[in-house]
Chains A and B, each alone.
Chain A
Amino acid sequence: MLAYIVRRLLYAIPILIGVNLITFALFFVVNTPDDMARMQLGVKRVTPEAIEKWKVERGYDKPLFVNAAAGGLDTVTDTIFFEKSARMFVGDFGRAEDGRDIAREISARMVPSLAIALPTFILGLFVTITFALTLAFFRATAFDFWGVVLCVAAMSISGLFYIIGGQYLIAKIWRLVPISGFGDGLDAWRFLILPVVIGVVSGIGSSTRWYRTIFLEEVSKDYVRTARAKGLPETIVFFRHILRNALIPILTGVVVVIPLLFMGSLLTESFFGIPGLGSYTIDAINAQDFAVVRSMVFIGSVLYIIGLILTDISYTLVDPRIRFS
């Protein structure tokens, strides 16, 4: 068990190196720093001196991989690859275009992101599992049929519509909560409630349908027939037997996204003006701030890998077959 987790942890290292190489190739090999400088400076101000100055300011004037001129250890460390990519492994992300320290910015913005993403995740999971269980309980009835139809309709609606429509209806027409913004401390709930509700509602369609199929798959298994042959009422068959077995694929399927909750949601945060990592990313994309995008890619990958490891651990926790072997 422990050996297994250690193995997974070790496997994370080559994965992260791979991620790093891909992003590095994307950002520095497909386009040279000169191209980026031209982009950033705009067409009017492009002069060779300006480009050079831009590169020096950001440390892009070094060779990509091997600095033959530096000598010693610097041959490999005084390069763009080492400065901009390898140092991410120790949490040094460098500075954004506006000169701020990216690492500090990220740690400050995690809290608002989490404040939205975590309640959305937990509430969403609870609501969709409840719905799916209800549909599966009433399987092959008109209720189930129309429930599925509603789910398909709900998942055919663009996520943008949920946000724009919800914001318009609840905040603008009914004026129940502020349209956007973020507050400190306990005051924040007024700002959180709308994005959380919208986040939950927009995920209902597809998740409910997915969980319902998982439940139905369990319903058709032999042990369910055994449980019924014992004379157990249908509610106990569902809650004691089916729910427990179905939760294994459901929980292990969602565990992988838990660490990614830190990243926040791009859309929700930008619409509701929440100063989290999602809006940070979107602003960086719009401002073409490559240093920030690169850092977010790296952090996202680290979180995903943590998610994979958590998935493995959660398997061993929920499933006795793995726990005891």
Chain B
Amino acid sequence: MLEVKDLRLGFSSARQMLAAVDGISFTIAKGETFALLGESGCGKSVTAQGILRLLPAAGRVLGGSVRLDGEELLALPEADMRAYRGGRMAMIFQEPATSLNPVLTVGRQIGEVLERHLDMTGEPARQRMLELLRQVGIADPERRLDEYPFQLSGGMKQRVMIAIALAGEPELLIADEPTTALDVTVQAQILDLLAGLQAERGMGMLLITHDLGVVARMAHRIGVMYAGELVEVASREDFFTNPRHPYTQALFAALPEVSRRGQKLVTIPGQVPSLAAMPSGCRFADRCPQVMAICREQSPAWRETTAGHVVRCHWQGDRAVDDAACHSLTELDLQAAQPFLEVAELKVHFPIRKGILQRIVGHVRAVDGVALAIAPGRTLALVGESGCGKTTVGKALLQLIKPSAGSVRLGGSELVGLSGRRLRAARRHMQMVFQDPFASLNPRLRVGEIIAEGMGALGLEKERAAQTAAVIALLQQVGLPAEAVGRFPHEFSGGQRQRIAIARALAVQPQLLICDEPTSALDVSVQAQILNLLKALQADLGVAYLFITHNFAVVEYLAHDVAVMYLGRIVERGQAEEVLRTPQHPYTRALLSAVPVPRLEGGEQRIRLPGETPSPANPPAGCHFHPRCPKATDLCRQTYPETTTISATHSVACHFPG
């Protein structure tokens, strides 16, 4: 149905044209889902925009053809193209929060598609809109129709986006990372919805994603993009059983998962070449483990390995990355000794003020009675969805946010209520690595100054020469060259910046590192580098980690202990094997089953949670989880469950565990 041939798209910058997408070709049949897979900056979103001719202002179509049922779209006049957009082809975007017009009602935004493409107005249009909202699983559509986007939750906004896309009865749906901004449980809902709608309507779908798990869940055929080119196209079965391109294989090998525990993850060295400096041969050559002389001279042609499985690679071997070759890491075999950090009844409440006198009328209970313990040299993963309060816990531990109540004991001494010099002394033992490597380094300081800041503030290395030597040693420890000292953060890539952030935290020799989603902003291959580094550092230095994350794959790979958080409270905690293998809390079970796995098999028995996380300002009475829980009874609606101990290390807060 859709036939893209040799499409080239570029951006005009300064005085030259940079090709972001360089000659890609693929087809999508009716009822088929074709997934474009690639890491950030590979040109997959640009491709989607190019097909709809919705490129940003600087973007240009440089050549090629896009045909829908034989009709050449690139040659159409703009006015005719508009009949296709939203009509026969529709698109869903990544950020539902910003992609809807904030000042128009939901009904208005769906209605304009009906009016534009189906000439439907008035009562019939309203009926059709209600039907659409019901189809995308929105309860109470009559009310929602007259609401504004800000009144909807994130998942609901994405459902509205889908309803808008479906309104024009499209034959082809382009979904650009439709679930990346959503939580796993909501992601599972949306993916189910999309898969169901597609099967029902027989639509073709172009799915753009970076997530192998989403691909496994949704795609019929997959195209892997690298640096503006397609490098491999295969059916779902071929792709997951026998990936051929070294890049595809490396992507799989870089995934953290439980089977790779105790091993170093495979990483892809170097980084994607910039648009301005594309190598003339194979674009992956510089990072490829199988690189040959010919790769650098000649761009490889398409080669069919089996029917329908094509790959663009000179190398004809089978397995480029050998899992067995990964040397295993020496794991510190530390049993839960005397905990180094002990947290009890930690509460962080933010007041809500209202009225003429700004009286406090309530509290946002961001953290509402959390207890944790971390032993030296071990990793505790704090898992939860957005808004559950896990980041607030991290900051409250460091006393960056003043806890409202509770105690944080570090090595036996109480931190809550400390200030001034004594707090500073305590902070030496505990440091933080932040989520966004682009916001966590001051762009105006040199790397050397950034790393030395903590030493200076905590009075560790006063002498300049000793400080410089220490900084260089730290840089080497995190795998950066010594000359990085004099450079500025913007000269480094995301992964390198995260290394700098880790070096900064290590500079004061802490025994505990709080890592707040340190890899969630990074691509898979870079994430593997950072995880490897964290593991190696733990083995070398014996540092303990509090690893705050929403990513279960990372938890499985890295954590010794796991604590699951929901609405400001910990619902289940225990050793990683216990929690991941025999989850006791319904929320943990649902979370685990909602994660899309990057394998052919698996994911058969899915537990689907209805709804989304409620606001911590007004948590449900009784067990916070009861509105979404399949097992909820009247008891759950009335009282918050006591903690039940399953084993010496495993405990759960549920009336009906197991």
* Direct touching of A and B (C-beta under 8 Å): yes
Q: Which residues of A contact B (CB under 8 A)?
A: 3, 6-7, 10, 139-140, 221-223, 225-233, 236, 240-241, 244-245, 248, 318-321, 324-325
Residue A231 contacts which of B83, B104, B354, B358 (CB distance < 8 angstroms)? B83
Q: Provide the bound-state CA to CA distance between A90 and B305, in Å.
A: 91
Establish whether residues B98 and A230, one from each chain, have CB atoms under 8 Å apart when the complex forms. Answer: no
Chain A at the B interface: SS class: helix
Given A140-B57, A222-B93, A225-B93; A230-B86 close (CB under 8 Å): yes
Establish whether residues B103 and A230, one from each chain, have CB atoms under 8 Å apart when the complex forms. Answer: no
Establish whether residues B57 and A228, one from each chain, have CB atoms under 8 Å apart when the complex forms. Answer: no
Contacts of A3 in B (CB 8 A): 354-356
Question: What total of chain B residues lie within 8 Å of the partner, measured CB to CB?
Answer: 35
Contacts of A233 in B (CB 8 A): 79, 82
Contacts of A236 in B (CB 8 A): 112
Establish whether residues B86 and A232, one from each chain, have CB atoms under 8 Å apart when the complex forms. Answer: yes
Establish whether residues B113 and A241, one from each chain, have CB atoms under 8 Å apart when the complex forms. Answer: no
Q: Provide the bound-state CA to CA distance between A148 and B164, in Å.
A: 37
Q: Which B residues from 69 to 128 make CB contacts under 8 A with A?
A: 79, 82-87, 90-91, 93, 95, 98-104, 112-113, 116-117
Establish whether residues A6 and B85, one from each chain, have CB atoms under 8 Å apart when the complex forms. Answer: no
Q: Provide the bound-state CA to CA distance between A86 and B28, in Å.
A: 79
Q: Of residues A228, A245, A318, which shows the largest number of chain B Cβ atoms within 10 Å of its Cβ?
A: A228
Residue A324 contacts which of B82, B104, B148 (CB distance < 8 angstroms)? B148
Q: How far is the CB of B162 from chain A (nearest CB, A)?
A: 12
Q: Of residues A230, A248, A321, which shows the largest number of chain B Cβ atoms within 10 Å of its Cβ?
A: A230
Q: Which B residues from 350 to 367 make CB contacts under 8 A with A?
A: 354-356, 358
Q: How far is the CB of B68 from chain A (nearest CB, A)?
A: 14
Contacts of B79 in A (CB 8 A): 233
Q: Does B230 contact A (CB under 8 A)?
A: no
Q: Does B54 contact A (CB under 8 A)?
A: yes
Q: How far is the CB of A232 from chain B (nearest CB, A)?
A: 6
Q: Does B492 contact A (CB under 8 A)?
A: no
Q: Does B161 contact A (CB under 8 A)?
A: yes
Contacts of B87 in A (CB 8 A): 231
Q: Provide the bound-state CA to CA distance between A139 and B52, in Å.
A: 21
Establish whether residues A320 and B148, one from each chain, have CB atoms under 8 Å apart when the complex forms. Answer: yes
Q: Which B residues from 113 to 145 make CB contacts under 8 A with A?
A: 113, 116-117
Contacts of B100 in A (CB 8 A): 223, 226
Q: Provide the bound-state CA to CA distance between A3 and B355, in Å.
A: 5
Q: Provide the bound-state CA to CA distance between A241 and B99, in Å.
A: 12
Establish whether residues A229 and B355, one from each chain, have CB atoms under 8 Å apart when the complex forms. Answer: no
Establish whether residues B117 and A231, one from each chain, have CB atoms under 8 Å apart when the complex forms. Answer: yes
Q: Provide the bound-state CA to CA distance between A227 and B161, in Å.
A: 11
18 A-B pairs, CB-CB below 8 angstroms? A6-B356, A221-B98, A223-B98, A223-B99, A223-B100, A223-B101, A223-B102, A229-B90, A229-B91, A229-B93, A230-B116, A230-B164, A231-B85, A232-B86, A232-B112, A236-B112, A245-B101, A245-B103
Contacts of B54 in A (CB 8 A): 225, 228-229
Establish whether residues A222 and B98, one from each chain, have CB atoms under 8 Å apart when the complex forms. Answer: yes
Contacts of A227 in B (CB 8 A): 101
Name the CB-closest residue of B to A2.
B356
The 5 A-B pairs of least Cβ separation, nearest first, read A231-B86, A230-B86, A231-B85, A222-B98, A223-B101
Residue B151 contacts which of A140, A222, A244, A324 (CB distance < 8 angstroms)? A324
Q: How far is the CB of B651 from chain A (nearest CB, A)?
A: 39
* Given A3-B355, A225-B93, A228-B85; 14 other pairs, CB 8 A cutoff: A225-B54, A227-B101, A229-B93, A230-B112, A230-B116, A230-B168, A231-B84, A231-B168, A241-B101, A245-B103, A319-B103, A320-B150, A321-B102, A324-B148
Q: Provide the bound-state CA to CA distance between A245 and B100, in Å.
A: 12
Q: Which residues of B contact A (CB under 8 A)?
A: 52, 54, 57, 79, 82-87, 90-91, 93, 95, 98-104, 112-113, 116-117, 148, 150-151, 161, 164, 168, 354-356, 358
Name the CB-closest residue of B to A6.
B356
Q: Provide the bound-state CA to CA distance between A248 and B99, in Å.
A: 18
Q: Of residues A140, A232, A245, which shows the largest number of chain B Cβ atoms within 10 Å of its Cβ?
A: A232
Q: Provide the bound-state CA to CA distance between A223 and B151, in Å.
A: 16
Contacts of B99 in A (CB 8 A): 222-223, 225-226
Q: Provide the bound-state CA to CA distance between A227 and B84, in Å.
A: 13
Contacts of A7 in B (CB 8 A): 356, 358
Establish whether residues A245 and B102, one from each chain, have CB atoms under 8 Å apart when the complex forms. Answer: yes
Name the CB-closest residue of B to A318.
B103
Establish whether residues A231 and B82, one from each chain, have CB atoms under 8 Å apart when the complex forms. Answer: yes
Contacts of B101 in A (CB 8 A): 223, 226-227, 241, 244-245
Q: Provide the bound-state CA to CA distance between A10 and B357, in Å.
A: 10
Contacts of B93 in A (CB 8 A): 222, 225-226, 229
Name the CB-closest residue of B to A5.
B356
Name the CB-closest residue of A to B88.
A231
Q: How far is the CB of A86 from chain B (nearest CB, A)?
A: 25
Q: Provide the bound-state CA to CA distance between A91 and B582, in Å.
A: 77
Contacts of A318 in B (CB 8 A): 103
Contacts of A228 in B (CB 8 A): 54, 85
Contacts of A223 in B (CB 8 A): 98-102
Contacts of B102 in A (CB 8 A): 223, 245, 320-321
Establish whether residues B161 and A230, one from each chain, have CB atoms under 8 Å apart when the complex forms. Answer: no
Establish whether residues B104 and A241, one from each chain, have CB atoms under 8 Å apart when the complex forms. Answer: yes
Q: How far is the CB of A323 from chain B (nearest CB, A)?
A: 9
Q: How far is the CB of A223 from chain B (nearest CB, A)?
A: 4
Contacts of A221 in B (CB 8 A): 98
Q: Provide the bound-state CA to CA distance between A320 and B103, in Å.
A: 6
Contacts of B113 in A (CB 8 A): 230-231
Contacts of A229 in B (CB 8 A): 52, 54, 85-86, 90-91, 93
Establish whether residues A222 and B82, one from each chain, have CB atoms under 8 Å apart when the complex forms. Answer: no
Q: Provide the bound-state CA to CA distance between A324 and B146, in Å.
A: 12
Contacts of A140 in B (CB 8 A): 57
Q: Provide the bound-state CA to CA distance between A7 and B104, in Å.
A: 29
Given A10-B356, A321-B102; A226-B164 close (CB under 8 Å): yes
Establish whether residues A321 and B150, one from each chain, have CB atoms under 8 Å apart when the complex forms. Answer: yes
Q: How far is the CB of B216 from chain A (nearest CB, A)?
A: 27
Q: Provide the bound-state CA to CA distance between A139 and B58, in Å.
A: 12
